[in-house]
């Protein structure tokens, strides 16, 4: 039997915590199953939180899996008591009720590959069995439609409970909404903040997103009005900051982390990703040339005491994949998939830690005309 999510769920149907009880699937104790390479993550609701009970349950489940799955694996069980209020992989506090986790992907500076990272994270999450959507909030420079080869598509309308709602465009099993669907490719969007915020709210609340495990928000570069509008509208589960290793980008990445850590905002930073970390020529794959500097984002993460999720090298095929509208994660015979898979895995682990320790994020409330100003 292969190590897949469906196979693990089938095996769990034969696990009983008590002699006369139903199996843990029928009792709806299993809240989530995630397969990441050789790692199995299970969210499990229990009534007895003692260490002895937890160890007994873990050994029971492990032996059941070992009886059918012959390949090596690592089992992690996140135990929850009365988990309806505290699910490790669920965080949304009421806005967009069918969306479990909302992740903001940001960068201090433009051109560091934020949208490329967002598109590949989405496909990587979907490959792990999650349902995923992308909200392209980069109003003035939307890139997501091109990266998914849907630039010419237009969202259709549907009727939900007597209200007209737009249906996100789907590509590679990812649901997408972007201002790019409503403008011409050569048309500049010249809007003031209130107009841009109104357009975002329409794509958020006047769309039929359906049930999603993850909604990734591709934020515009910098820290400004669009960011505040998003965080005033949605409870962000966590944020990810993308940067290249060069000092000019790191200065702005530091500001991005600072924005999420503002007292009025307080969105957990799940980690920093270093893009364009180094270049290795095909003929000399062991050689690494640090064109933009070495370990800059990793050192920044250490300095700011936030997780470092990993680095992505400069690879020509990543650029080519974005240009043709097929995310690089989907390439066969490439190391790109392994880099992105590890980063996605670390992001999920940080999200689980965040959801275990912290309550659901609330939408922020701006009480002054200056918003969340750095000037106090």
Q: What pLDDT is stored for residue 84 in this prediction?
A: 42
Instruction: Assess if residue 364 is contained within a domain.
Output: no
pLDDT at 103 over 60: yes
Between 4 and 228, the more confident residue is: 4
Q: What pLDDT is stored for residue 361 in this prediction?
A: 67
Instruction: Assess if residue 93 is contained within a domain.
Output: no
With residue 354 as reference, give the H or E element that holds it.
Answer: helix 336-357
Span 29-56, average pLDDT? 83
pTM of the full structure: 0.75
Q: What pLDDT is stored for residue 38 in this prediction?
A: 84
Q: What pLDDT is stored for residue 86 in this prediction?
A: 39
Instruction: Assess if residue 260 is contained within a domain.
Output: yes
Q: What's the CATH code of the domain at 22?
A: 3.30.300.130
Instruction: Assess if residue 370 is contained within a domain.
Output: no
Same domain, 108 and 235: yes
Same domain, 79 and 105: no
Same domain, 234 and 302: yes
pLDDT at 87 over 50: no
Q: How many domains does the chain have?
A: 2
The last residue of a domain, from among 32, 58, 85: 85
Instruction: Assess if residue 373 is contained within a domain.
Output: no
Residues of the chain with pLDDT > 70: what percent? 91
Confidence of residue 239 (pLDDT cuts 50, 70, 90): very high
Confidence of residue 363 (pLDDT cuts 50, 70, 90): low
Burial class (CB in 10 A: 0-12, 13-18, 19+), 19: exposed
Neighbours of 98 (CB within 10 A): 12
Q: What pLDDT is stored for residue 362 in this prediction?
A: 67
Same domain, 104 and 81: no
Same domain, 116 and 63: no
Same domain, 175 and 234: yes
Q: What's the CATH code of the domain at 162?
A: 3.40.50.300
Same domain, 56 and 182: no
Instruction: Assess if residue 272 is contained within a domain.
Output: yes
Residue 340: alpha-carbon gap to chain centroid: 12
> Which of 19-23, 164-168, 208-212, 300-304 is predicted least confidently?
19-23
pLDDT tens per residue, range 320-341? 998 899 999 988 777 888 889 9
pLDDT at 83 over 80: no
Span 45-61, average pLDDT? 82
Mean pLDDT, the chain, rounded, equals 84
pLDDT at 154 over 70: yes
Same domain, 59 and 192: no
Confidence of residue 53 (pLDDT cuts 50, 70, 90): confident
pLDDT tens per residue, range 190-205? 777 677 778 888 888 8
Confidence of residue 300 (pLDDT cuts 50, 70, 90): very high
Q: What pLDDT is stored for residue 369 in this prediction?
A: 42
pLDDT tens per residue, range 134-152? 999 888 888 999 999 998 8
Same domain, 161 and 303: yes
Q: What pLDDT is stored for residue 309 in this prediction?
A: 96
Same domain, 324 and 244: yes
The last residue of a domain, from among 60, 85, 110: 85
Q: What pLDDT is stored for residue 281 in this prediction?
A: 85
Same domain, 81 and 103: no
Same domain, 116 and 72: no
The last residue of a domain, from among 30, 58, 85: 85
Q: What is the crossing angle of helices 225-233 and 193-205, to 10°?
A: 30
Q: What pLDDT is stored for residue 11 in this prediction?
A: 92
Q: What pLDDT is stored for residue 82 in this prediction?
A: 52
Containing structural domain, residue 202: 99-357
Q: Which CB contacts under 8 angstroms, 24+ apart, belong to 76-80?
A: 76/39, 76/40, 76/41, 76/42, 77/41, 77/42, 77/44, 78/41, 78/42, 78/43, 78/44, 78/352, 78/356, 79/44, 79/46, 79/49, 79/54, 80/31, 80/43, 80/44, 80/45, 80/46
Instruction: Assess if residue 92 is contained within a domain.
Output: no
pLDDT tens per residue, range 248-286? 999 999 998 998 888 778 889 999 999 999 998 888 878
Instruction: Assess if residue 376 is contained within a domain.
Output: no
pLDDT at 374 over 60: no
Distance of alpha carbon 38 from alpha carbon 324, whole angstroms:
31
């Amino acid at each position: 039997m292969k190590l897949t999510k469906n196979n693990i769920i089938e095996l769990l149907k034969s696990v009983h915590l008590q002699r006369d009880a139903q199996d843990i699937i029928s009792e709806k104790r299993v809240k989530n199953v995630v397969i990441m390479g050789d790692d199995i993550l299970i969210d499990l609701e229990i009534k007895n939180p003692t260490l002895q009970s937890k160890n007994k349950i873990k050994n029971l489940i492990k032996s059941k899996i070992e009886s059918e799955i012959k390949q090596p694996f690592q089992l992690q069980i996140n135990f929850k008591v009365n988990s309806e209020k505290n699910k490790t992989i669920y965080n949304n506090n009421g806005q967009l009720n069918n969306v479990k986790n909302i992740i903001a992907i940001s960068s201090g500076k433009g051109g560091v590959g934020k949208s490329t990272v967002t598109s590949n994270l989405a496909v990587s999450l979907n490959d792990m069995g999650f349902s995923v959507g992308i909200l392209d909030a980069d109003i003035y420079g939307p890139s997501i439609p091109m990266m998914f080869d849907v630039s010419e598509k237009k969202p259709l309308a549907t009727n939900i409970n007597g209200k007209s709602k737009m249906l996100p465009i789907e590509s590679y099993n990812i649901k997408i909404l972007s201002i790019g669907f409503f403008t011409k490719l050569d048309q500049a969007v010249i809007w003031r903040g209130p107009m841009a915020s109104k357009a975002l709210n329409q794509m958020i609340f006047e769309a039929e997103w359906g049930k999603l495990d993850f909604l990734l928000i591709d934020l515009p570069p910098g820290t400004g009005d669009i960011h505040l509008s998003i965080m005033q509208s949605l409870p962000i589960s966590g944020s990810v900051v993308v940067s290249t290793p060069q000092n000019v980008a790191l200065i702005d990445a530091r500001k991005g982390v600072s924005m999420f850590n503002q007292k009025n905002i307080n969105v957990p930073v799940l980690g920093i990703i270093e893009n364009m970390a180094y270049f290795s020529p095909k003929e000399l794959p062991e050689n690494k040339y640090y064109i933009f500097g070495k370990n800059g984002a990793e050192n920044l993460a250490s300095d700011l005491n936030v997780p470092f999720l990993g680095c992505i090298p400069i690879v020509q095929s990543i650029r080519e994949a974005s240009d043709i509208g097929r995310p690089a994660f989907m390439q066969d015979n490439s190391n790109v998939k392994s880099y992105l898979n590890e980063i996605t895995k670390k992001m999920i682990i940080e999200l689980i830690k965040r959801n275990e320790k912290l309550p659901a994020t609330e939408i922020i409330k701006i009480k002054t005309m200056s918003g969340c100003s750095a000037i106090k």
